[in-house]
């Protein structure tokens, strides 16, 4: 049996989700947009899934939740859709710790459409501050995109405070947050703390739903052009035949994600126990974000002198799954960019590993990881890494 400790990369689909999806993968395969979509109940199933997602996010009007193929599409759409909303070329603000689906989309605007871009770095503790965002806001700033939780470190970002501060000085600026890593792990409320957020992305496979389905929440009054045009599905905002199994699975996963509070304690206790054993066995270990507000399920750490990728590869041979956060570019591996942005030295960031738990994780998984690490870690040196781009 695999020891799966890489839940920020993806999660297992829960049996409830699979049960909810099954009819739509078999007998109920018809197109929801067909004439019979209404009488067959398909349209009701679609609207029920949308309401479930809206309820998870405290959104009163479920029509604001638009289904996409995942968070990559939702992030690309938030950025490109705002850029193409008819208000001309402008300035966009984002952060150095965003997922590549935000960073590369912003780079494309800069290179191909002449937008100016400000990429704000976190402080040494991994947090993007309100002050650093406000410093770069200009009269022509049309979009600000700051993630709610970083996928590599699990560190929470003060998005509510940042969006309120941005709106106070630039009320017409669109504010986007990538909340992909937050759902099912912490509370996310677009009627509470995140009330001033205009656009929010999420992805079902990060909270025990299926892959290939996500949502962009578009709050009423937000000016955003569609990215995908054609059949006019999703009220003309996102064309393409509706992925009914995916959408229904996303809705079912949203019901369970609302129970995040009941999983928080046990998951955090497992993570904290892991970190205690880790520090006692490897006194030189560095744990990133340990003193910060961070996800209860995530531990990002480095064993100095070791190479994160070679340790992960050797653990994989034992069927133990952990994350390295490395991006593969032209066949060469780079350490997690969020750690580099925090000012962590390249050699330390190269040693980073990420353990991310779910409600299905157990202390026995952690014990197996610790045992394997004790054998492997001392033999994995930095010699195997090809350093690039430095």
- What are the φ and ψ backbone dihedral angles of 218, each rounded to 5 degrees? -115, 105
Q: Which of 99, 185, 271, 334 forms a contact with ligand PMP (CB under 6 A)?
A: 99
Query: Within positions 24 to 63, which residues make up the interface with ligand PMP, using CB under 6 A?
Result: none
Q: Nearest approach, Cβ of 74 to ligand PMP (angstroms)?
A: 8
Select the span of 64-72, 129-137, 215-223, 326-334 touching ligand PMP (CB under 6 A): 64-72
Burial of 354 (0-12, 13-18, 19+ CB in 10 A): buried
Can residue 348 be called a binding residue for ligand PMP (CB under 6 A)? no
CB-nearer residue toward ligand PMP: 148 or 315: 148
Q: How far is the CB of 72 from ligand PMP (least distance, A)?
A: 3
**Catalytic residue from among 65, 250, 300, 328:** 328
**Which among 266, 163, 263, 162 is positioned nearest to 207, based on CA atoms?**
263
**What distance in Å separates the CA atoms of residue 225 and residue 239, rounded to the nearest whole number?**
12
Among 70, 209, 296, 336, binds ligand PMP (CB under 6 A): 70
Q: Tally Cβ neighbours within 10 Å of residue 252.
A: 25
Q: Is 11 in the site for ligand PMP (CB under 6 A)?
A: no
**Binder among 14, 94, 163, 180 for ligand PMP (CB under 6 A):** 180
Could you give the CA distance from residue 17 to residue 14 in angstroms, rounded to a whole number? 5
Q: Which is nearer to ligand PMP, 247 or 372 (CB)?
A: 247
Beta bridge partners of 177: 200
Q: Could you tell me the CA-to-CA distances from 104 to 80, 218, 228, 326 in Å, in that order?
A: 11, 21, 18, 16
Which residue among 14, 76, 82, 101 contacts ligand PMP (CB under 6 A)? 101
Strands (E), 138-178: 141-145, 174-178
Closer to ligand PMP by Cβ: residue 75 or 361: 75
Distance in angstroms (rounded) separating the CA atoms of residues 317 and 169: 53
Question: How many residues in the shown chain lie near ligand PMP by CB under 6 A?
Answer: 13
What is the smallest separation between the CB atom of 75 and ligand PMP, expressed in angstroms?
Answer: 6
Tell me: does residue 71 bind ligand PMP (CB under 6 A).
yes
Say what the alpha-carbon torsion angle 358, 364, 367, 369 is, to the nearest 10 degrees.
-50
φ, ψ of residue 9 to 5 degrees: the values are -80, -50
Contact status: 203 vs ligand PMP (CB under 6 A): yes
378 classed as catalytic: no
Interface residues with ligand PMP (CB under 6 A) are: 70-72, 75, 99, 101, 147, 151, 178, 180-181, 203, 214
Active site amino acids = 328
């Amino acid at each position: 049996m695999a020891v799966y400790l890489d839940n920020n990369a993806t999660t297992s689909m829960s049996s409830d989700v699979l049960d909810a999806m099954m009819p739509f993968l078999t007998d109920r395969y018809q197109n929801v947009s067909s004439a019979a979509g209404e009488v067959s109940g398909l349209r009701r199933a679609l609207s029920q899934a949308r309401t479930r997602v809206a309820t998870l996010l405290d959104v009163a009007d479920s029509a604001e939740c638009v289904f996409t193929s995942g968070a990559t599409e939702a992030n690309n759409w938030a950025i490109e859709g705002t850029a193409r909303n008819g208000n001309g070329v402008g300035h966009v603000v984002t952060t150095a710790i965003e997922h590549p689906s935000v960073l590369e989309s912003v780079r494309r605007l800069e290179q191909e459409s002449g937008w100016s871009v400000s990429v704000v770095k976190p402080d040494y503790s991994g947090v993007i501050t309100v002050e650093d965002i406000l410093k770069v806001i200009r009269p022509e700033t049309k979009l600000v995109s700051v993630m709610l939780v970083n996928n590599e470190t699990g560190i929470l970002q003060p998005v509510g405070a940042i969006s309120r501060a941005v709106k106070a000085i630039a009320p017409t600026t669109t504010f986007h947050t990538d909340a992909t890593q937050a759902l099912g792990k912490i509370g996310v409320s677009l009627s509470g703390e995140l009330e001033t957020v205009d656009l929010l992305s999420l992805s079902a496979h990060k909270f025990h739903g299926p892959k290939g389905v996500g949502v962009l929440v578009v709050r009423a009054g937000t000016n955003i052009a569609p990215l995908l045009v054609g059949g006019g599905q999703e009220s003309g905002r996102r064309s393409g035949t509706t992925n009914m199994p995916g959408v229904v699975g996303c809705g079912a996963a949203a019901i369970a994600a609302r129970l995040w509070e009941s999983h928080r304690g046990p998951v955090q206790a497992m993570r904290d126990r892991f970190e205690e054993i880790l520090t006692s066995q490897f006194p030189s270990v560095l744990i990133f974000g340990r003193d910060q507000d961070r996800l209860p399920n995530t531990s990002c750490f480095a064993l100095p002198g070791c190479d994160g990728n070679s340790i992960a590869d050797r653990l994989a041979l034992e069927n133990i799954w952990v994350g390295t956060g490395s991006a593969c570019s032209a066949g060469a591996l780079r350490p997690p960019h969020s750690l580099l942005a925090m000012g962590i030295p390249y050699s330390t960031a190269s040693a980073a590993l990420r353990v991310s738990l779910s409600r299905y994780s157990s202390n026995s998984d952690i014990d197996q990881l610790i045992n394997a690490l004790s054998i492997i870690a001392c033999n994995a040196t930095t010699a195997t890494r090809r350093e690039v781009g430095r």
